[in-house]
Amino acid sequence: MDKRKVIIDCDPGIDDSLAIILALKSEEIDVKGITIVSGNVHGKKGAENALKILKELNRLDIPVYLGECEPMERKLITAEDTHGRDGLGESFLPRVEEVTYKEGAVNFILDELKSEDITIIALGPLTNIAKALEKDCEVTRKMKELVLMGGAFKSFGNCSQVAEFNFWVDPHGVEKVFKELKRKITMVGLDVTRQCVLTPNYIEMIRQFNEPLGELIVKITKFYVDFHWNQERTLGCVINDPLAIAYFINPELCSGKEYFVDIVTEGKAIGMTLVDEGDFYREKPNCLVLTEVNSKGFMEMFLTRIFPKHKEDIISILNNSKYGLN
């Protein structure tokens, strides 16, 4: 099978790390590189975290590039309350010494896009993509498509009543990308990711697999589970970013509709996604907004790709109603 080439642009970040794991355990995907943007944590910490996850996967062959560390206009606001001081759930994994991350994520993105068969899967604020547009708009239009985790259509926000974190950190970056990219954009927003909850049952199943990757996932998600309970009485943790990877692999997992999408860039509603369902702006649709998800199908893909030896157990438990899983 021809692998599909991607660049994962992210802000690791606990759920970004789960997304990297899923991508590297999926034979359909050829990860050409991981580019880092400030978001959950400062970009430099995110780049170190990406290396830590790649080391756990024995994939330090994949290059990590540090990108933009400040949003286009706003002052950076990070999310250590959600992802821990280290950005990996206060697991405090040892710093990777064997390799270092490189600088110049935007130039890496532009160089790779020239091959014309690259999809960018963006899991953090869109600052790197916006800067690539600023630097060389023509080359960015060689991108196959942009699949992004971010935004909220009808779902409530997660860093204000109306704003999703990635869009809220850098709304000017989002505005530029939606206005200028002119390539297919798919928004994997909170409307679908909120239905992808790694519940205590799933976490216990992962623990029972007694595998190094399972130990890592249990370790880095504990802090995230505690945050979700304290913040919104969710039992478990919403794993947003892996859904963008899963959707890229199998678009049948989600459905939605094309709309003209814009964003609020100032005031109390800053970061709010404006999905023009009523066609008030009379603008051409610029984004496929996902609104439905087969959350059980997602979880099955997520778990069976990462723990292939336990596929039978996973499917049996997923389909056993006594566990009440999605």
Binding window for ligand RIB (CB under 6 A); candidates: 48-56, 97-105, 164-172, 210-218: 164-172
Number of amino acids touching ligand RIB (CB under 6 A): 15
* Max CA pair span of the chain: 55
Work out the burial of residue 70: count CB atoms within 10 Å of its CB; fewer than 13 is exposed, 13-18 middle, 19 or more buried.
middle
Cβ nearer to ligand RIB, comparing 209 with 298 = 298
Binding window for ligand RIB (CB under 6 A); candidates: 54-62, 68-76, 157-165, 297-305: 157-165
Question: Which one of 123, 129, 187, 217 is in contact with ligand RIB (CB under 6 A)?
Answer: 123
Which residues in the chain belong to E strands, given as ranges? 4-10, 29-36, 64-66, 102-103, 118-122, 145-149, 184-188, 197-198, 237-238, 254-259, 261-263, 273-275, 287-293
Sign of CA dihedral 128, 157, 190, 16: positive
Query: Closest by alpha carbon to 240, among 290, 175, 205?
Result: 290
Cβ nearer to ligand RIB, comparing 163 with 203 = 163
Number of amino acids touching Ca ion (CB under 5 A): 6
Q: Which position's Cβ is nearest ligand RIB? A: 165
Question: Which one of 7, 21, 33, 39 is in contact with ligand RIB (CB under 6 A)?
Answer: 39
Cα–Cα dist 133/120, whole Å = 13
Sign of CA dihedral 62, 63, 66, 72: negative
Instruction: By CB under 6 A, tell whether 242 contacts ligand RIB.
Output: no
Question: Which one of 86, 170, 241, 300 is in contact with ligand RIB (CB under 6 A)?
Answer: 241
Instruction: By CB under 6 A, tell whether 15 contacts ligand RIB.
Output: yes
Cβ nearer to ligand RIB, comparing 15 with 175 = 15
Sign of CA dihedral 292, 297, 300, 304: negative
Ranges of H-type helices in 1-157:
14-24, 43-56, 80-83, 105-113, 127-135, 137-140
Q: What is the DSSP string of 132-165?
A: HHHH-HHHHTT-SEEEEE---SSS--SSSSSB-H
Instruction: By CB under 6 A, tell whether 240 contacts ligand RIB.
Output: yes
Q: Are 74 and 169 in contact (CB under 8 A)?
A: yes
Question: Which one of 40, 78, 199, 295 is in contact with ligand RIB (CB under 6 A)?
Answer: 40
List the beta bridge partners of residue 31: 6
Q: What residues from 145 to 184 belong to the interface with Ca ion (CB under 5 A)?
A: none
- CA angle at residue 3 from 242 to 259, to 5 degrees? 50
Question: Which one of 16, 112, 175, 300 is in contact with Ca ion (CB under 5 A)?
Answer: 16
Instruction: By CB under 6 A, tell whether 166 contacts ligand RIB.
Output: yes
Instruction: By CB under 6 A, tell whether 191 contacts ligand RIB.
Output: no
Instruction: By CB under 6 A, tell whether 67 contacts ligand RIB.
Output: no
Residues in the chain: 326
Instruction: By CB under 6 A, tell whether 49 contacts ligand RIB.
Output: no
In angstroms, what is the minimal distance from the CB of 319 to Ca ion? Answer: 30
Instruction: By CB under 5 A, tell whether 124 contacts Ca ion.
Output: yes
Question: Which one of 64, 126, 149, 287 is in contact with ligand RIB (CB under 6 A)?
Answer: 149
Query: Closest by alpha carbon to 260, among 290, 288, 285?
Result: 285
Binding window for ligand RIB (CB under 6 A); candidates: 10-18, 112-120, 254-262, 271-279: 10-18
Question: Which one of 153, 165, 227, 260 is in contact with ligand RIB (CB under 6 A)?
Answer: 165
Other CB atoms within 10 A of residue 231 CB: 11
The residues that touch ligand RIB, with contacts defined as CB under 6 A, are 11, 13, 15-16, 39-40, 123-124, 149, 158, 164-166, 240-241
The residues that touch Ca ion, with contacts defined as CB under 5 A, are 11, 13, 16, 123-124, 241
